[in-house]
A and B are shown apart, each in its own frame.
Chain A
């Protein structure tokens, strides 16, 4: 009886008793969800255009953030370091297309997946060689990201919203809106979607595979940079940022690998639900750290009923 009370009644009673705390939990979940969605977007874009599951997306986040901070450390002002980092990400996209992807066209998906593991290993070693392994401070103020906090006292309680978190949410919304506009309204965006739908058909109407791949990897690099700035502003820039890529996997399972909207909604859902579950059920009943597995359990549940994810395309293959 007590168990049922702890599972079904007490968490909701706690929420009602401290609504300010619930608001804080929801806000933290939303911020986490936005960040998960950003990482998942990088995966989705590349998968949509090339059917490659890009294992290197996590290390691209680290590499982009390290490049930005590393350039600034070498005396380059932030307003120059930012475009220079974008240029580095473009060079990286061109190099990946030329050196890794182009020779592997028409190879099985698993070969391309393995190639992205190779890219990961290379970027780990290369990044370490150039920038070292120390934790670096993100140039938050130099990038004009506000660092204070807004504090409210709703229901006689206390809610604190970090300005950099708010900036991250607003920045992510703008980035996603721009991306959706680009994908749906621009010529290149339509070409990317066409490649995602049918490689052969897209090629037959003159869409250049190599150009699209460079563009897509560059966009994934831009998203990686945005993610790196936001995460780096929270807890520094180090190779540990790579680990957060694992948080995107359940988001992809939930939202579907091909869906931009799936990545966004999946990311937000997981961010908020895992936080609420951890605070009201995980910590009191299971000893905490349920965030390590909750998202996977949720994704598994969804897969039971929708194997293609919430927004993924249902593939019917006739054999």
Chain B
């Protein structure tokens, strides 16, 4: 009994010691990067390759370079299952040590947004989240590079109109979307564009329980006969929509998705029947690039990756997009390290780093990621970068680049962003605004 008591005391003391010493040691020796990941649940098929990519980029840096400027990067996942409540639990659990929050769902992003002003931890929502987060004056702690959903919607409209938005007049566009904050996000812009350019927008929501049985939605599409279908799908919704489109014999060349609807794993279900389906994307896979060769050498061939090599995950759009997301984050950390001359920047310093990212073509080439990511730069007022995107097209076996770099119609989008950002700030008053930030 006495021995047991001694062991308990010793264990408690050790646990307390580790608990207290841990963060201090971490501040010197490593940078803690949590990721509110989702590898389980209905969206796991989308999340798994993205998380694998994010994880492997950090691992490659640790293996190849010993971290970043000699500081180990400590990547850690907290499983949310893409569930907003679980996401908030993960946020609370990791925030004490976190240098950044990667919420990985528009729903979680919207919940974390107000907290970011209080906890002062930057949010990195790469290519997702609330589009007006681009306004850095209002959303001081939130970043959604390199393109926002509204940028994506604008580029899709440009693509389907052949660059002439006036040609959409009188046309009917179905907007097939997940009935979730993510799916509804581009609606304000699409509605404004429909009004301005004279096309009819038919929003078609898909509920969580209907993701795999979208016959009602596609019967509506059959009845409405839209000229184009734009899809804002995530996870199992993509595969459900694409199989129904094939079944309905909807012309694939009139069907375009957002970047989260361009997943090799979903398209493999239909193979050749999906030929011609397109998705807008701010990343392009390039397995021959210097970066990918390093990933292969230091992580995959070393048996440290979790990717499914038999399924060709290494070459997939989502795995390589996951790598690009970590690349953007690490670039922000490096900018902060260099600017503040610190080994491990704190969240406030990283905030500065994220709004001073300059990932131009030369820098991407230097990182071995030439042509894999749209070039962009952020600033105090521009937290997105608005780098644009390419059209990827499914050729029956893989996605291939099918356009030059497209740019969003910023003249249309920016006023709406500023208006909605102001609306958000007013609705959540008192909301701190960075007045020093010049537009």
Where the two chains meet, the residues of A that have a C-beta atom closer than 8 Å to any C-beta of B are 18, 21, 24-25, 28, 31-32, 35, 73, 124-125, 128, 132-135, 137, 149, 160, 162, 231, 234-236, 238-244, 246-247, 275, 278-279, 283, 287-289, 291-292
Q: Given A133-B48, A291-B207 in contact, is the A160-B216 Cβ separation under 8 Å?
A: no
Q: Is the CB–CB distance between A238 and B42 below 8 Å?
A: yes
Binding-face segment, B28-36, B305-313, B350-358, B388-396: B305-313
Where the two chains meet, the residues of B that have a C-beta atom closer than 8 Å to any C-beta of A are 39-45, 47-49, 179, 203-213, 215-217, 219-220, 222-223, 235-236, 239-240, 243-244, 247-249, 265-266, 268-269, 308, 310-311, 313
Q: Is the CB–CB distance between B45 and A135 below 8 Å?
A: yes
Q: Is the CB–CB distance between A128 and B40 below 8 Å?
A: yes
Q: Given A240-B211, A275-B216 in contact, is the A149-B311 Cβ separation under 8 Å?
A: no
B-chain residues with CB within 8 Å of residue A247 when the two chains form the complex: 209
How many inter-chain residue pairs (CB < 8 Å) link A and B? 139
A-chain residues with CB within 8 Å of residue B222 when the two chains form the complex: 21, 24
A238–B308 alpha-carbon span in the complex (Å): 15
Q: Is the CB–CB distance between B239 and A236 below 8 Å?
A: yes
Q: Is the CB–CB distance between A236 and B247 below 8 Å?
A: no
Residue in A162, A243, A283 whose CB lies within 8 Å of B247: A162
Q: Is the CB–CB distance between B45 and A238 below 8 Å?
A: yes
Expressed in whole angstroms, the minimum distance between the Cβ of A29 and any Cβ of chain B is 8
Q: Given A134-B313, A279-B219 in contact, is the A289-B179 Cβ separation under 8 Å?
A: yes
Which has the most chain A C-beta neighbours within 10 Å: B41, B211, B212, B223? B212
Expressed in whole angstroms, the minimum distance between the Cβ of A304 and any Cβ of chain B is 23
Expressed in whole angstroms, the minimum distance between the Cβ of A131 and any Cβ of chain B is 10
Expressed in whole angstroms, the minimum distance between the Cβ of A25 and any Cβ of chain B is 6
Q: Is the CB–CB distance between A135 and B266 below 8 Å?
A: yes
Residue in A235, A243, A288 whose CB lies within 8 Å of B209: A243
Residue contacts A-B, CB under 8 angstroms, 24 given: A24-B219, A28-B215, A32-B213, A125-B40, A128-B40, A128-B44, A132-B48, A133-B39, A135-B265, A234-B243, A235-B239, A236-B212, A236-B243, A238-B239, A239-B44, A240-B211, A244-B212, A279-B220, A288-B203, A289-B205, A291-B207, A292-B207, A292-B209, A292-B210
Query: Chain A binding site: helix, strand, loop or mixed by DSSP?
Result: helix
Q: Is the CB–CB distance between B308 and A240 below 8 Å?
A: no
A-chain residues with CB within 8 Å of residue B248 when the two chains form the complex: 160
Q: Is the CB–CB distance between A28 and B268 below 8 Å?
A: no
Apart from A235-B211, A236-B269: 20 A-B pairs, beta carbons within 8 A:
A24-B219, A25-B219, A31-B215, A35-B213, A128-B40, A132-B308, A134-B313, A135-B239, A234-B243, A235-B240, A235-B243, A236-B266, A238-B235, A240-B44, A240-B45, A243-B212, A275-B219, A288-B204, A289-B210, A292-B209
Q: Quick one: closest A residue to B265, CB to CB?
A: A135
Expressed in whole angstroms, the minimum distance between the Cβ of A242 and any Cβ of chain B is 7
A-chain residues with CB within 8 Å of residue B211 when the two chains form the complex: 235, 240, 243
Q: Given A134-B311, A278-B216 in contact, is the A128-B266 Cβ separation under 8 Å?
A: no
Residue in A25, A35, A73, A133 whose CB lies within 8 Å of B44: A133
Q: Is the CB–CB distance between B40 and A291 below 8 Å?
A: no
Expressed in whole angstroms, the minimum distance between the Cβ of A224 and any Cβ of chain B is 15
Q: Is the CB–CB distance between B42 and A242 below 8 Å?
A: yes
A135–B213 alpha-carbon span in the complex (Å): 15
B-chain residues with CB within 8 Å of residue A291 when the two chains form the complex: 207, 209-210, 216
A38–B235 alpha-carbon span in the complex (Å): 24
B-chain residues with CB within 8 Å of residue A132 when the two chains form the complex: 48, 308
